[in-house]
Amino acid sequence: MMLKVSNLNKNFDGVVALKDFSLELKEKEIIGLIGPNGAGKTTFFNVLSGFVKPESGKIIYRGKDITNSGSHNIVFEGISRTFQDLRLIRQILVIENILLSFNHTNGENIYNIMFNQRSWKKIEEQDKQKAFELLEYAGIKDKANDLANDLSYGQQKLLSLICCLAADAKLLLLDEPIAGINPEMREKILNIISELPLKGKSAIIIEHDMDFIERICSRVIFMDMGEKISEGTPSEVRNDPKVIEAYLE
Amino acid sequence: MEYLLHILILICIYIILAVSLNLLVGYTGILSIAHAAFYGVGAYVAALMALRLETPFLLNLVLALIAAGAFGAIVGIPSLRLRDDYFIIATFAFQIIIFSILNNLVSFTGGPLGLPGIPQLEIFGLTISTHIEFLILACVLAALVYRTASRIVKSPFGRLLKAIREDEVFTQAAGRNVASAKVKVFIISASLASIAGVIYATYITYIDPTSFTLMESIFIISIVIIGGAANLKGSILGAAFLVALPELLRFIGLPSSVAANVRQILYGAMLVIMMMWRPQGFLGEYAFGKNSGDRSQKAEVRTNRGNDA
């Protein structure tokens, strides 16, 4: 098992965000996380990526307890995420956004910058090369030297996905990767995500678009009020009376 | 001629101060109003060492760097956890504390009377006493500071600083330790500022606490913002402009009592005008305080995290 989350609990001022939430994920598996707004999906991502500490519960990633690790350590363990509200560094270049996502920090060491440029210049060049390859893969190579702010909304979503790939994460947490973008870009992003298992990567995807979920997820978890209501293949979950009830409420 | 050289030396000193503060204000987007305090720490360390222990200049310089860096760590580590406005207040407090120490620890710092008679400067047996020699020394040190800063901002660490300025949460999600990067840049900025203090103390040969007040900090911030935040050349231009400008007033023939006040009015007016029409300064690429869109996003995450406490 790649990821084993057990009995997470989290409350925000008395509002239940996660209640005894458990989840297991195998290597190279893509699962969908669905549910109404406020169900606790994003909170789960925040807990998993170390931005929010759970009140109780345990997260084991590849045999290692990361429940209380800081967010930057979790990235180095191999978990990378995107944000629902699309966080990119808009006033820096597209390519710099990607370079920042690589897990190489030799060039951020002050001693190396002043006295040992050789220790990172080469890695930086290689990263640049890789960044261009990733941009080419995503089809926005011509935008490399634009400000991230000048990209269209869809391209920004694409870029944030590319940043996750650059981080070389084994597990990607994608928060609404296709919400509000045009069909063409949607296909592009769908293709990139569906190729993740081929690259040995897994993903958990939060998305409201059921058609999208059915096309790429082998397993779906339905959440409501911080609890897991239903789990199974997309069609099983879709036809689960408890799910229908939750949506009708 | 000596007058002109004097102005050029002052410009070099302010270039050092502005370039070092630019790392913080321009690149990392954190506003500190304690820069004059670090400038003062440099000046007093160099002056006290030279006066009391008669240590050589280069040793004083290194000690000043270390002392200012240590103060930077003491102030930075706890206060950089605070967010924007509270951080400014914390640096404000430090600025006041340093001024009070310099002003009141009479037996050690000479108090309001300052430290007169700082000995002449010698480097490797070379005496530096004339204006032109001092100008060369100041230029060399300013160039070194500039070079250090430009290396930093062009490196991946510089990219990290800009990323922190734009979006701390994204930077964290990219696996970077935001808190430690902020502390590092704060310490570097403080250390570099102390170099200006060392030059000032040995050049003027007399220092007193009034040179290192809050007004001085604000003057340095004005240089950075008017010259252009996140642009090191802007800091050079800003320093030259703001140091030379009031000197020009002398030639208009205003009485000195009026000229001093006109100077303050001029700085204030410059800042207001720049903020209204060119918030990124002469050469800057980053409009300080203008990324309100990002700010509101940051605020959102903060409230989320606030709830979690």
Contact A108 B170 (CB under 8 A): no
d(CA A195, CA A165) in angstroms, rounded, equals 11
Higher pLDDT, B189 or B265: B189
List, as one string, the DSSP characters of chain B: -HHHHHHHHHHHHHHHHHHHHHIIIIIS----S-HHHHHHHHHHHHHHIIIII---HHHHHHHHHHHHHHHHHHHHHHHTTS-HHHHHHHHHHHHHHHHHHHHH-HHHH-GGG-B--PPPEEETTEEE-SHHHHHHHHHHHHHHHHHHHHHHHHSHHHHHHHHHHH-HHHHHHTT--HHHHHHHHHHHHHHHHHHHHHHHHHHHS-B-GGGGSHHHHHHHHHHHHHH-TT-HHHHHHHHHHHHHHHHHHHHHT--HHHHHHHHHHHHHHHHHHHHHH-TTTTT-SS-TT--HHHHHHHHHHHHHHHHH-
Per residue in B249-295, pLDDT (tens digit) is 777 777 777 777 887 788 888 888 888 888 888 887 777 665 544 44
Min Cα–Cα distance to chain A from B184, Å: 8
Question: Which residues is A64 bridged to in the sheet?
Answer: A61
Rg, C-alpha atoms of chain B: 20
Contact B156 A124 (CB under 8 A): yes
Per residue in A29-50, pLDDT (tens digit) is 999 999 888 889 999 999 999 9
By CA distance, what is B188's nearest residue in A? A110
pLDDT at A249: 62
Min Cα–Cα distance to chain A from B163, Å: 6
A vs B, Cβ pairs < 8 A, gives: 107
Phi-psi bin for B29: left (phi > 0), alpha (psi -120 to 50), beta?
A: left
d(CA A33, CA A46) in angstroms, rounded, equals 14
Min Cα–Cα distance to chain A from B46, Å: 24
Structural domain spans, chain B: 2-308
- In chain A, how long is the greatest CA-to-CA distance? 65
- In chain B, how long is the greatest CA-to-CA distance? 64
Query: Nearest-CA neighbor of B172 among A222, A187, A235, A49?
Result: A49
CB of B15 closer than 8 Å to CB of B150: no
Query: Is A108 touching B (CB cutoff 8 A)?
Result: yes
Per residue in B24-53, pLDDT (tens digit) is 999 999 999 999 999 999 999 999 999 999
Higher pLDDT, B190 or A85: B190
Which of B:164-223 have CB within 8 Å of A? 165-167, 169-178, 181, 184, 188
Min Cα–Cα distance to chain A from B151, Å: 7
Phi-psi bin for B295: left (phi > 0), alpha (psi -120 to 50), beta?
A: alpha
Per residue in B70-108, pLDDT (tens digit) is 999 999 999 888 877 899 999 999 999 999 999 999 988
Per residue in A82-93, pLDDT (tens digit) is 988 777 777 788
> Do strands A30-34 and A202-206 pair parallel, antiparallel, or not at all (unpaired)?
parallel
Angle ∠(B28,B173,A137) on CA atoms, nearest 5 = 105
d(CA B136, CA B201) in angstroms, rounded, equals 16
d(CA A24, CA A2) in angstroms, rounded, equals 8
Contact B174 A124 (CB under 8 A): no
Give the orientation angle of helix B178-204 with respect to helix B2-22, to 10 degrees. 170
A-chain residues near B297 (CB < 8 A): 85, 87
Contact B171 A89 (CB under 8 A): yes
Query: Is A14 touching B (CB cutoff 8 A)?
Result: no
Contact B162 A92 (CB under 8 A): yes
Of A75, A109, A110, the CB nearest to B188: A110
Per residue in B142-156, pLDDT (tens digit) is 999 999 999 999 999
A-chain residues near B279 (CB < 8 A): none
Mutation for testing the B interface, residue in A73, A89, A116, A157 having most B CBs under 10 Å: A89
Average pLDDT, chain A: 89
Rounded average pLDDT over B292-301: 40
CATH, domain range A3-248? 3.40.50.300
Provide the CATH topology of domain B2-308. ABC transporter involved in vitamin B12 uptake, BtuC (1.10.3470)
Query: Is A91 touching B (CB cutoff 8 A)?
Result: yes
Of A87, A109, A167, the CB nearest to B175: A167
Query: Nearest-CA neighbor of A193 among A82, A48, A72, A62?
Result: A82
- What is the value of ipTM here, to two decimals? 0.85
Structural domain spans, chain A: 3-248
List, as one string, the DSSP characters of chain A: --EEEEEEEEEETTEEEEEEEEEEE-TT-EEEEE-STTSSHHHHHHHHTTSS--SEEEEEETTEE-TT--HHHHHHHTEEE--TT----TTSBHHHHHHHHSS--GGG-HHHHHH-THHHHHHHHHHHHHHHHHHHHHT-GGGTTSBGGGS-HHHHHHHHHHHHHHTT-SEEEEESTTTT--HHHHHHHHHHHHTGGGGT-EEEEE-S-HHHHHHH-SEEEEEETTEEEEEESHHHHHH-HHHHHHHH-
Per residue in A110-146, pLDDT (tens digit) is 888 888 888 888 888 999 999 999 999 988 888 888 8
Question: How many other C-beta atoms can be found within 10 angstroms of the C-beta atom of residue B128?
Answer: 17
Mutation for testing the A interface, residue in B146, B154, B159, B305 having most A CBs under 10 Å: B159
Per residue in A63-112, pLDDT (tens digit) is 999 998 888 889 888 999 998 877 777 778 899 989 988 888 888 888 88
> Do strands A56-61 and A227-232 pair parallel, antiparallel, or not at all (unpaired)?
unpaired
Which residue is it, tokens 């050589």? B56
Per residue in B191-223, pLDDT (tens digit) is 999 999 999 999 999 999 999 999 899 999 999
Contact B176 A105 (CB under 8 A): yes
A-chain residues near B288 (CB < 8 A): none
Higher pLDDT, B254 or A174: A174
Query: Is B308 touching A (CB cutoff 8 A)?
Result: yes
pLDDT at A110: 85
CB of A168 closer than 8 Å to CB of A174: no
Does residue B303 surpass a pLDDT of 60?
Answer: no
Name the strands in the sheet holding A15-25, side by side, starting at the edge strand that comes first in the sequence.
A15-25, A3-12, A56-61, A64-65
Question: How many other C-beta atoms can be found within 10 angstroms of the C-beta atom of residue B259?
Answer: 16
